[in-house]
């Protein structure tokens, strides 16, 4: 008779974190900067370092009216710049650490109800998919990584409170929700509908509503936005305008106005499937198979829906991803990374089905082969970074030799601007209207668009270096 080898729970967790850490940090600083959010966040961090206003974001030398999210991620990037220098690796280290926090809490949520072995396989499925440890999440300096980490942490402590009688858990839930607010503002609330549905289906809604600790926790959560906007107003930074933009512009307009911005996908009601094909490929096909088997078994009455509360982890996963899918299916503006926070629950659903429906050795061998393929494909993707933009490759050495850079007129693209900061931290800005009064300094370089070339040539002395993008 074969004896089963007992693997301690912590070894499963250590292996998962080491593997996730490898895919999060491998060649992290070698990939070119991503346009839009990552680069803008990096510029925000660089200029916050320069002007020292720790609540007001700046971009291209003026207050940033486009990015109005709270600054926790920016603070994290600044701390990383302080420790590791001003470079692309330091820019991305906070996001990589936050995504490891997400993996940790995904594992811990699973082990509340299932074995460490189940948690191991669920997290193993999560690591090689590009939608989790990838662009706009764990490998770029975007808001999603801290948001996901804190949301999963808040979910873990809420479950400890709800299902395991840990009364202090609700206050840790509030703390993590507050940190989620400081990461991405109102997006802190995206898990709440799923948790409410789970609480109702578990038959515990009444006991929660009549628990005074819930209301104390709500007060604690509310303190984060209240104190943040109070401090903005106290420092005369127009907190009311930022609040208006964050709530009405960034939330209401984004999800109700089809003309708000160009959506990444116009798939409409197929948005969820487009998302899975991009961010959960090729495991989306296994997910569909599991759902099809589960629905078929339910119709044939081999599985009863009433038995779901007996499987709380599966019920939780279904509640969490289904509520998000329903919301974003009908939202006016959608981007695929909006659903990245539900990927741990989709992997839980998938692995739950594997453990129930696909237990035969032939299926398990096939899944193992697919896992090896997924890890190999993901390694290949991150092992071959694209080169930096040609303008930066050609001029970075020259920028480093200067005393500073003066950008005239409209700044270059966000990723080019951040690359400029990495080459030369001393950057200032002037408008075209100020050219006539410009006092040129021989030790500095002047950067402007090619459209300004004719105007610049007229005032360009031999002792000053001009660059055109």
Are 400 and 359 in the same domain? no
Taking residues 76-97, what's their average pLDDT? Answer: 96
pLDDT value of position 453: 67
pLDDT for 435 beyond 80: no
Kindly state whether residues 395 and 366 are assigned to the same domain: no
Domain count, the chain: 2
Grade residue 450 by pLDDT with cuts at 50, 70 and 90: confident
Q: Which of 326, 357, 383 is the endpoint of a domain? A: 383
* pLDDT band per the 50, 70, 90 thresholds, residue 189: very high
What integer best gives the mean pLDDT of the chain? Answer: 88
**Does residue 100 form part of some domain?**
yes
Q: Which residues contact residue 170 at a Cβ distance below 8 angstroms, ignoring those fewer than 6 apart?
A: 157, 158, 161, 211, 213, 214, 217
pLDDT for the residue 408: 87
What percentage of residues in the chain have a pLDDT greater than 90?
60
State residue 127's pLDDT score.
Answer: 96
Residues 192 and 121 in one domain: yes
Q: Are 354 and 329 in the same domain? A: yes
Between 259 and 155, name the one with better pLDDT: 155
> In which band, very low, low, confident or very high, does the pLDDT at 253 lie, cut at 50, 70 and 90?
low
Over residues 73-94, mean pLDDT:
96
Mean pLDDT value of segment 89-115: 97
Three-class DSSP labels, 431-454: CHHHHHHCCCCCCEEEEECHHHHH
- Mean pLDDT for the stretch of residues 273-277: 88
Q: Is residue 3 part of a domain?
A: no
Of 330, 353, 383, which marks where a domain is finished?
383
pLDDT at residue 262 above 60?
Answer: no
What is the per-residue pLDDT for 254? 64
Summarize the confidence of residues 181-186 as an average pLDDT.
93
Q: Is residue 298 part of a domain?
A: yes
Q: Write the pLDDT tens digit of every residue in 109-150.
A: 999 999 999 999 999 999 999 889 998 899 999 999 999 999
Q: What is the pLDDT, as a whole number, of residue 244?
A: 64
Same domain for 432 and 348: no
Does 55 have pLDDT greater than 60? Answer: yes
Which carries the bigger pLDDT value, residue 378 or residue 7? 378
User: For residue 56, what pLDDT is reported?
Assistant: 85
Q: What is the average pLDDT across 403-422? A: 92
Look at residue 378 and tell me if it is in a domain.
yes
What is the predicted pLDDT for the residue at 300?
78
What is the per-residue pLDDT for 1?
Answer: 42
Better-scored residue on pLDDT, 273 or 80: 80
Domain identity same for 24 and 70: yes
Is the residue at 1 inside a domain?
A: no
Over residues 281-294, the pLDDT tens digits come to 889 999 999 999 98
Q: Express each pLDDT in 287-314 by its tens digit.
A: 999 999 988 888 777 666 677 778 899 9
Q: Does residue 409 contact residue 469 with C-beta atoms inside 8 Å?
A: no
Do 50 and 155 sit in the same domain of this protein?
A: yes
Q: Kindly state whether residues 221 and 311 are assigned to the same domain.
A: yes
Angle between helices 169-184 and 212-234 (to 10 degrees): 30
Assigned domain for 193 exists: yes
Confirm whether 218 is domain-assigned.
Answer: yes
Residues 291, 432: one domain?
A: no
Confidence of residue 53 (pLDDT cuts 50, 70, 90): confident
Do 200 and 289 fall into the same domain? yes
Say which residue, 335 or 100, is predicted with more confidence.
Answer: 100
Structural domain containing residue 441 = 390-468
- Of 102-116, 236-250, 333-347, give the range with the top mean pLDDT: 102-116
121 and 166 share one domain: yes
Residue 69: what pLDDT?
87
Among 340, 364, 383, the domain-final residue is 383
Confidence band of 440 (pLDDT split at 50, 70, 90)? confident
Q: Report the range of poorest mean pLDDT among 200-204, 241-245, 350-354, 383-387.
A: 241-245
**Alpha-carbon distance 337 to 454, whole Å?**
43
Most confident of the ranges 207-211, 252-256, 265-269: 207-211
Instruction: Reply yes or no on whether the pLDDT at 419 is more than 60.
Output: yes
- The per-residue pLDDT for 183 is 95
Mean pLDDT of the 333-353 span: 91
306 and 433 part of one domain: no
230: pLDDT confidence band, cut at 50, 70 and 90? confident
Say if residue 457's pLDDT is above 90.
Answer: no
Average pLDDT over residues 345-370: 92
Q: Per the domain annotation, does 451 fall within a domain? A: yes
What confidence score (pLDDT) does residue 101 get?
A: 98
Lowest mean pLDDT among 16-20, 47-51, 108-112: 47-51
């Amino acid at each position: 008779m074969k004896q089963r080898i007992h693997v301690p729970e912590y070894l499963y967790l250590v292996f998962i974190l080491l593997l996730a850490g490898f895919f999060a940090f491998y060649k992290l600083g070698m990939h070119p900067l991503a346009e839009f959010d990552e680069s803008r966040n990096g510029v925000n961090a660089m200029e916050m370092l320069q002007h020292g206003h720790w609540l007001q974001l700046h971009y291209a030398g003026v207050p940033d009216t486009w990015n109005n999210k709270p600054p926790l991620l920016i603070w994290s990037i600044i701390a990383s710049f302080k420790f590791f220098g001003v470079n692309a690796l330091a820019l991305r280290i906070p996001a990589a650490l936050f995504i490891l926090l997400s993996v940790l809490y995904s594992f811990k949520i699973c082990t509340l109800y299932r074995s460490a072995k189940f948690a191991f396989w669920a997290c193993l499925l999560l690591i090689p998919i590009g939608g989790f440890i990838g662009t706009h999440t764990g490998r770029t300096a975007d808001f999603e990584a801290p948001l996901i980490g804190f949301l999963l942490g808040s979910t873990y402590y809420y479950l400890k409170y709800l299902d395991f009688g840990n009364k202090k858990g609700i206050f840790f839930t509030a703390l993590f929700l507050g940190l989620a607010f400081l990461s991405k503002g109102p997006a802190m609330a995206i898990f709440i509908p799923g948790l409410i549905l789970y609480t109702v289906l578990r038959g515990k809604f009444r006991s929660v509503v009549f628990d005074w600790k819930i209301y104390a926790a709500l007060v604690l959560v509310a303190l984060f936005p209240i104190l943040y906007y109070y401090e903005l107003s106290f420092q005369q930074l127009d907190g009311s305008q930022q609040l208006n933009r964050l709530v009405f512009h960034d939330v209401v307009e984004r999800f109700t106005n089809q003309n708000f911005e160009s959506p990444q996908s116009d798939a409409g009601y197929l948005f969820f499937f487009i998302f899975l094909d991009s961010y959960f490929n090729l495991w989306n096909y296994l997910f569909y198979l599991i759902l099809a088997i589960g629905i078929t078994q339910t119709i044939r009455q081999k599985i009863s829906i009433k038995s779901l509360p007996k499987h709380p982890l599966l019920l939780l996963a279904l509640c969490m991803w289904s509520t998000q899918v329903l919301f974003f299916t009908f939202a006016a503006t959608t981007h695929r990374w909006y659903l990245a926070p539900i990927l741990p629950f989709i992997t839980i659903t998938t692995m739950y089905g594997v453990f129930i429906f696909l237990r035969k050795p032939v299926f398990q061998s096939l899944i193992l082969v697919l896992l090896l393929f997924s890890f190999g494909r993901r390694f290949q993707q991150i092992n071959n970074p694209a080169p930096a933009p040609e303008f930066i490759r050609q001029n970075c050495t020259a920028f480093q030799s200067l005393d500073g850079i003066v950008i005239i007129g409209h700044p270059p693209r966000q990723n080019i601007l951040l690359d400029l900061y990495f080459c030369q931290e001393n950057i200032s800005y002037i408008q075209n209207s100020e050219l006539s009064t410009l006092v040129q300094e021989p030790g500095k370089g002047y950067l402007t668009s090619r459209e300004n070339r004719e105007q610049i040539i007229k005032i360009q002395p031999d002792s000053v270096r001009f660059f055109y993008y």
